[in-house]
């Protein structure tokens, strides 16, 4: 999952999708979302109007989803279907 650059994330951000929970929720693994930490299994929900995963919210603490982030796209490897 490739996050678009913002003022707070000028170079963007990348997370690995580790689980598909439903058509509107996934879990991701990534580093430095929380400063100097690796975060595993963080919930991400799709909040885009079209349900196309172009806008998401990330759960930073249990039950607390932060601001909306724009997603530039996804990188799929090999023959794996998600």
80 secondary structure, DSSP code: -
Task: Quote the CA–CA distance of 45 and 25 in Å, as a whole number.
Answer: 4
Domain count, the chain: 1
Give domain status of residue 82, yes or no: no
Q: Answer with the residue of higher pLDDT: 78 or 17.
A: 17
Q: What is the pLDDT of residue 25?
A: 97
- Quick: pLDDT tens for 19-67: 999 999 999 999 987 788 898 999 999 999 999 999 999 998 888 999 9
Give domain status of residue 43, yes or no: yes
Give domain status of residue 75, yes or no: no
Give domain status of residue 40, yes or no: yes
Domain that holds residue 63: 2-70
Task: Quote the CA–CA distance of 46 and 58 in Å, as a whole number.
Answer: 9
Structural contact between residues 71 and 1, judged by C-beta atoms closer than 8 angstroms:
yes
Q: Phi and psi dihedrals of 36, rounded to 5? A: 60, 30
Q: What is the pLDDT of residue 81?
A: 53
Closest CA to 46 of 57, 35, 38, 37: 57
């Amino acid at each position: 999952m490739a996050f678009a650059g913002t003022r707070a994330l000028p170079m963007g951000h990348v997370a690995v999708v580790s689980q598909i929970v439903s058509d509107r929720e996934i879990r991701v693994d990534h580093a430095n979302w929380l400063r100097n930490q690796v975060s595993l299994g963080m919930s991400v929900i799709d909040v885009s109007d079209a349900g196309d995963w172009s806008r998401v919210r990330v759960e930073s603490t249990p039950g607390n989803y932060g601001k909306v982030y724009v997603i530039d796209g996804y990188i799929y490897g090999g023959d794996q279907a998600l």
